[in-house]
Amino acid sequence: MTDLPGSMSDFLSEFTHSLTQPNGDAVLRRINAERLLRLLADEFVEAHQAARIRILPDNRLVGEAGADFLMQIDDYDIRLQFVDAPRGVPEFELNQLPAVQNLLEDNPSTVALVLVWTTDDLKALELSMTRIRYVLGNPDRIDSLLQQTRPLPDVLRDLVNRQVKLWEIGLEEKPHTSVQSTDMRQMFERAIAEAIDAERQRSYRHTERKMAAQNFPADEEKRLMLFVLSEALNGVPSADLENRLTRLTRRGAK
Amino acid sequence: MPVQGLSLEAHLIVDNNVLSMLSQYFCDRLASKCPAGERFATFKEWMGRQLDVIRQFTPDAKLHSTTCVANEFAPAGAFFAQLKPHELEGVKGHVRSLLHQTAANSTRIAAIRGLPGVPKKLFGPGGVSDNDLSLAVRGLELATAGQPVYILTNDQGLLDSVTWLRTNTSIRAQYPQAGLTQGLHSLTYFEGVHRNCKIQTPHMRDLLHYALAQHYGRLELRGTQKGESIMYQLLQINENLMQSIEIKLAAKGATP
């Protein structure tokens, strides 16, 4: 876990739980759950080396607005909130949902809040605002929600994979092919030429417009636009390019 | 009002780093207050007293360890450098004699390293040592009697190993009571003892501050904000200790 190194951090965590948990057994469950989470996080980071993953003690950083742990993956984050499991199985009361809802509302950049029960296999459940609202509106569905708990590694893996799918980016390298790469400049040049020809071949009712289309300096403007394209590909700021294109409009309308 | 927090009644297994921390604390904080000719006698007596304080919570009046871990105890520093070799051996022998030692079970240690799905970072090269694992195995063995077992250590790797082992299905098949074995930071246990009024608050506070200073003195915190970390942890220790004192006083029927 990306926290302060060494055992002092662990001791402080144990000390705090011994003061805040309702009884000795809950203290031990929480201590073990945090250690398991740290081990799991290490393995998760190792398995997803392409992504930049950090796990931080969330409520230590942001206070009550935070969950127990914040998992930062590239530019999105997942929050993890522990729930005690005195009977060794996930349990959750409806009156605990508003606090979870507040947590999500206070952290809009969070893609998911994951409840993690202090069971030996760290059973977990991903919650979204939609899911919370649905259960608050249908209290009898809370049991079916609990039936969807799965071991934390599975929940995290699915969450991360879903983000990758949304971006349509594969983390693995694409195989090299023998197909020649397409020249964007050629494509653009062809498209511009076709567009200008199409404009010039339009039939105009008014003589002035017909004359303007015939006199349009197509080759000159095409050269300018291709130059603007190459500048854009070389990283020239769009504000500069916009100025040039504005000049083009004035010249074209002459 | 019941004293909140951990139950202290358990078999206790003590790691060498706990003995080292206590002996170093004595040397750095208490030795200079002793008359020069009585320092070593005072040290032996003081160490014995500290271990007696935690021994009273055990069901068998023993502080367990393995022989290989007990043999690691080698007090260092200017205080012990004044001793002649045979005197130093005497000090080591005395402290080791305060522990109930059993031989390490090397077969079981090897079996643990070969368990399927074992975290490589923890149990592979560079992870926990065989000596550390001998304490974990001892913990699993003691738990077969059906009573809780605490392994007191300041080693993060050993704490994580014990947590992983107690929930592992192969270990559970071999040691059905594995769940009774628990790794605890030694300071967590000492603080629990403090809350039970067996350690005075000024001593507990001093030990915690000393441990924090030693921790940061040892570490090269490259890329971290060392000053902020120290300040944050110190504040948290003090805040937690105040809460602990309130619980302690409430249990005694007093007001803070």
Residues 6+ apart with CB under 8 A from A32: A118, A120, B163, B166, B167, B182
Is B42 in the A-facing interface, judged by CB distances under 8 Å?
Answer: no
β-sheet bridge partners, residue B12: B63, B150
Q: At what angle do helices B130-143 and B156-167 cross, to 10 degrees?
A: 40
* pLDDT at res. A108: 79
Dihedral (CA of B190, B196, B200, B206) sign: positive
E strands, A14-140, are 53-57, 69-73, 76-83, 110-117, 123-127
Q: Could A19 and B243 be called an inter-chain contact, meaning their C-beta atoms sit closer than 8 Å?
A: yes
**Tokens at B200, concatenated:** 């005075």
Mind telling me how many Å the CA of A6 is from chain B's nearest CA? 7
Angle at B99 between CA B98 and CA B104, to 5 degrees: 155
* pLDDT at res. A12: 87
Q: At what angle do helices A24-47 and A152-167 cross, to 10 degrees?
A: 40
The answer to whether B181 and B165 have CB atoms below 8 angstroms apart is: yes
pLDDT digits (tens, 9 = 90+) for B135-179: 999 999 999 999 999 999 999 999 999 999 999 999 999 999 999
Select from A28, A30, A7, A18 the least CA-distant residue to B195: A18
CA distance A33 to B54: 26
Q: B160: which chain A residues are within 8 Å (Cβ-Cβ)?
A: 35, 38-39
Q: Could B229 and A4 be called an inter-chain contact, meaning their C-beta atoms sit closer than 8 Å?
A: yes
The domains found in chain A, sorted by start residue, are: 7-167 (3.40.1350), 184-252 (no CATH)
Is B3 in the A-facing interface, judged by CB distances under 8 Å?
Answer: no
pLDDT digits (tens, 9 = 90+) for A53-88: 778 877 665 566 677 888 888 778 889 999 999 999
Is B115 in the A-facing interface, judged by CB distances under 8 Å?
Answer: no
DSSP string, B209-234: HHHHHHHHHH---TTS-HHHHHHHHH
Q: Could B185 and A9 be called an inter-chain contact, meaning their C-beta atoms sit closer than 8 Å?
A: no
Mind telling me how many Å the CA of B223 is from chain A's nearest CA? 11
Q: Could A5 and B221 be called an inter-chain contact, meaning their C-beta atoms sit closer than 8 Å?
A: yes
Q: Could B156 and A42 be called an inter-chain contact, meaning their C-beta atoms sit closer than 8 Å?
A: no
* pLDDT at res. B83: 82
Q: Could A10 and B156 be called an inter-chain contact, meaning their C-beta atoms sit closer than 8 Å?
A: yes
* pLDDT at res. A115: 95
Name residue B30's amino acid.
L
Listed ranges A76-90, A170-184, A231-245; the one with the highest mean pLDDT: A76-90
Of A15, A35, A46, the CB nearest to B191: A15
| Closest CA in chain B for residue A43 | B119
| Closest CA in chain B for residue A18 | B5
φ and ψ at A70, to 5 degrees?
-115, 125
Longest CA–CA span in chain B (Å) reads: 57
* pLDDT at res. B67: 97
* pLDDT at res. B96: 96
pLDDT at A206 over 50: yes
pLDDT digits (tens, 9 = 90+) for A116-156: 999 999 999 999 888 888 999 999 999 998 999 999 999 99
Residues 6+ apart with CB under 8 A from B78: B27
What number of H helices and E strands is found in chain B?
Answer: 13, 5
Q: B211: which chain A residues are within 8 Å (Cβ-Cβ)?
A: 8, 11
| Interface contacts A/B by beta carbons within 8 Å | 93
* pLDDT at res. A85: 96
Q: A27: which chain B residues are within 8 Å (Cβ-Cβ)?
A: 5-6
* pLDDT at res. B171: 96
Select from B166, B164, B212 the least CA-distant residue to B187: B212
Q: B119: which chain A residues are within 8 Å (Cβ-Cβ)?
A: 39, 42-43
Name residue A8's amino acid.
M
In three-state secondary structure terms, B252 is helix
pLDDT digits (tens, 9 = 90+) for B100-125: 999 999 999 999 999 998 998 899 99
What Rg value do the Cα atoms of chain B yield, rounded?
19
The answer to whether B177 and B143 have CB atoms below 8 angstroms apart is: yes
> Which residue of A35, A40, A119 is the best one to mutate when testing the B interface, meaning the one whose CB has the most B CBs within 10 A?
A35
Q: How far is CA B240 from the centre of its chain?
A: 20
Is B181 in the A-facing interface, judged by CB distances under 8 Å?
Answer: no
> Which residue of B17, B187, B210, B234 is the best one to mutate when testing the A interface, meaning the one whose CB has the most A CBs within 10 A?
B187
Is B156 in the A-facing interface, judged by CB distances under 8 Å?
Answer: yes
| Closest CA in chain B for residue A25 | B6
DSSP string, A26-43: HHHHHHHHHHHHHHHHHH
Q: Could B233 and A12 be called an inter-chain contact, meaning their C-beta atoms sit closer than 8 Å?
A: yes
Q: Could A42 and B119 be called an inter-chain contact, meaning their C-beta atoms sit closer than 8 Å?
A: yes
Residues 6+ apart with CB under 8 A from A40: A122, A152, A153
> Which residue of B3, B4, B207, B235 is the best one to mutate when testing the A interface, meaning the one whose CB has the most A CBs within 10 A?
B4
CA distance B54 to B61: 9
Which residues in chain B come in under a pLDDT of 70? 1-4, 218-232, 254-256
Select from A16, A62, A60 the least CA-distant residue to B242: A16
DSSP string, B9-46: -SEEEE-HHHHHHHHHHIIIIIGGGS-GGGHHHHHHHH
Mind telling me how many Å the CA of B82 is from chain A's nearest CA? 31
CA distance B205 to B201: 6
Average pLDDT, chain A: 78
ipTM of the complex: 0.88
Whether pTM > 0.95 for this model: the answer is no
